[in-house]
């Protein structure tokens, strides 16, 4: 085997240009305080009730689907369960977008995977940057609807934390009627449940809602998400999903997480998280280093600092947050996940030291 071979030459052009998802864990962050990925600080413990793994899992585990449908207030035929909401983001593109012809619209600053999935699949994309108040630029979206099959919006939006104006979402749905699906990513909706658009499924055949157990349900390690839509859309997604997307132990735990008792627990945890969030905001407001803290309807806050060095300073202290400064209009902005009291206090104390140095 002495002949050289450049595997890269065999790789699809669009994939050659990609870099793997850049999580802080991957790039070697070393810290005690991880508040970079909007995970929950609450570690739940479940016992597996299944005993054996010699058979394939149910393709769409009935109990999980039924329990999620009941929880979300939809019918079971309006639910598909996926390997995290991330998989659902991509399934939609695989099912609805013709590579090389169709495109998606996404609205930065926002979650990164809409773009990554489009790039991976060789599907076109158009960024329509949000307006100053982080609402949709409907005029620009309307001007760019040609060849658009999917419009991804996110409410509460990651990383800005705001919810989208419901009238704007309605206008968008009317605009896209007959030509594109509108995908509302509600990964964080449990922190602002009254803002869900799930009840609109009755009126809009082209509305898709994405959900997950990774955030309020404290199960990021489980990799379990959902798409909610009317049956014709769900039927199409069934065509492109992997044969057995959810491992048996995952379905087992997801069903337990969706029991009545657990749903009550989850709701109480959201109340506690919102208290923790208020505590963090009150503390950060005192620092002259802080330019703005944006209103948050999620389990994180976006903070604008008047110093470029804050992210690196905290990183070096072992406090790993999410730098957002490369997103449009987010210079000097850092996203902080609401962690445990101890984790939030670590952020507050480190920032206090830095703030006092500057004064």
Give least dist CB 318 to ligand PMP, A. Answer: 22
User: Which x/- pattern, by CB under 6 A, does the window 95-114 give for ligand PMP?
Assistant: ----------------x---
At 127, is the secondary structure helix, strand, or coil? strand
Give least dist CB 85 to ligand PMP, A. Answer: 4
The answer to whether residue 39 forms part of the interface with ligand PMP (CB under 6 A) is no
The answer to whether residue 38 forms part of the interface with ligand PMP (CB under 6 A) is yes
Segment contacting ligand PMP by CB under 6 A, of 20-28, 45-53, 82-90, 339-347:
82-90
With a CB cutoff of 8 Å and minimum separation 6, the contacts of 327 are 108, 109, 110, 159, 333
The answer to whether residue 84 forms part of the interface with ligand PMP (CB under 6 A) is yes
33 φ, ψ (degrees, to nearest 5): -125, 110
| CA dihedral over 35, 38, 39, 42, signed as positive or negative | positive
The answer to whether residue 185 forms part of the interface with ligand PMP (CB under 6 A) is yes
Q: Restricting to residues 136-155, which ones interact with ligand PMP according to CB under 6 A? A: 154
Segment contacting ligand PMP by CB under 6 A, of 57-65, 79-87, 101-109, 325-333:
79-87
Q: Please, are residues 209 and 228 in contact by the beta-carbon 8 Å criterion? A: yes
| Rounded CA separation 272/216 (Å) | 11
Segment contacting ligand PMP by CB under 6 A, of 78-86, 118-126, 253-261, 311-319:
78-86
Q: SS in 3 state form for 154-203?
A: ECCCCCCCCCCCHHHHHHHHHHHCCCCEEEEECCCHHHHHHHCCHHHHHC
At 259, is the secondary structure helix, strand, or coil? coil
| Rounded CA separation 302/304 (Å) | 7
Segment contacting ligand PMP by CB under 6 A, of 81-89, 174-182, 195-203, 240-248:
81-89
List 40, 158, 230, 256, residue binding ligand PMP (CB under 6 A): 158
List 212, 276, 327, 332, residue binding ligand PMP (CB under 6 A): 212
How many angstroms from the chain centroid is the CA of residue 187?
A: 5
Give least dist CB 158 to ligand PMP, A. Answer: 4
The answer to whether residue 187 forms part of the interface with ligand PMP (CB under 6 A) is yes
In the complex with ligand PMP, which residue's Cβ is closer, 97 or 113? 113
In the complex with ligand PMP, which residue's Cβ is closer, 84 or 161? 84
| CA dihedral over 212, 213, 217, 220, signed as positive or negative | negative
The answer to whether residue 337 forms part of the interface with ligand PMP (CB under 6 A) is no
Give least dist CB 139 to ligand PMP, A. Answer: 24
Report DSSP state, residue 252: H
Give least dist CB 342 to ligand PMP, A. Answer: 23
| Rounded CA separation 327/294 (Å) | 15
Query: DSSP strand E in 24-180: where?
Result: 33-34, 79-82, 103-106, 124-127, 148-154
> Which residue's CB atom is positioned nearest to ligand PMP?
84
List 35, 85, 123, 198, residue binding ligand PMP (CB under 6 A): 85
At 116, is the secondary structure helix, strand, or coil? helix
Give least dist CB 222 to ligand PMP, A. Answer: 9
| Binding site residues, ligand PMP, CB under 6 A | 38, 84-86, 111, 154, 158, 185, 187, 212, 214, 220, 225
């Amino acid at each position: 085997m002495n002949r050289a071979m450049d595997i890269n030459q065999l790789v699809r052009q669009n994939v050659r240009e990609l870099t793997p998802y850049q999580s802080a864990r991957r790039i070697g962050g070393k810290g005690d305080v991880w508040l970079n990925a909007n995970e929950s600080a609450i570690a739940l413990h479940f016992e597996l009730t299944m005993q054996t793994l010699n058979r394939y899992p149910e393709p769409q585990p009935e109990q999980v689907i039924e329990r999620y449908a009941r929880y979300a207030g939809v019918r079971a035929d309006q639910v598909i369960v996926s390997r995290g909401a991330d998989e659902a983001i991509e399934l939609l593109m695989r099912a609805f977008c013709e590579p090389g012809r169709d495109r998606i619209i996404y609205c930065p600053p926002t979650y990164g995977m809409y773009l990554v999935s489009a790039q991976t699949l060789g599907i076109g994309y158009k960024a329509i940057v949000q307006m100053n108040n982080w609402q949709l630029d409907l005029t620009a979206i309307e001007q760019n609807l040609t060849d658009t099959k999917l419009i991804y919006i996110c409410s509460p939006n990651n990383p800005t934390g705001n919810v989208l104006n419901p009238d704007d979402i309605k206008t968008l749905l009317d605009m896209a009627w007959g030509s594109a699906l509108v995908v509302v990513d509600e990964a964080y909706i449990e922190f602002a449940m009254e803002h869900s658009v799930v009840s609109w499924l009755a009126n809009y055949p082209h509305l898709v809602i994405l959900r997950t157990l990774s955030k309020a349900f404290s199960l990021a390690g489980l990799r379990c998400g959902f798409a909610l839509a009317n049956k014709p859309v769900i039927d199409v997604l069934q065509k492109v999903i992997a044969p057995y997307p959810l491992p048996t132990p995952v379905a087992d735990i997801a069903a337990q997480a969706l029991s009545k008792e657990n749903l009550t627990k989850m709701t109480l945890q959201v109340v506690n998280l919102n208290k923790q969030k208020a505590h963090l905001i009150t503390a950060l407001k005192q620092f002259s280093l802080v330019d703005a803290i944006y209103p948050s309807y999620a389990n994180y806050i976006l903070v604008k600092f008047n110093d470029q060095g804050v992210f690196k300073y905290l990183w070096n202290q072992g406090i790993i947050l999410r730098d957002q400064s490369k997103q449009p209009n987010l210079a000097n902005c850092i996203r902080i996940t609401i962690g445990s009291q101890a984790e939030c206090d670590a952020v507050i104390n480190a920032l206090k030291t830095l703030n006092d140095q500057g004064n």
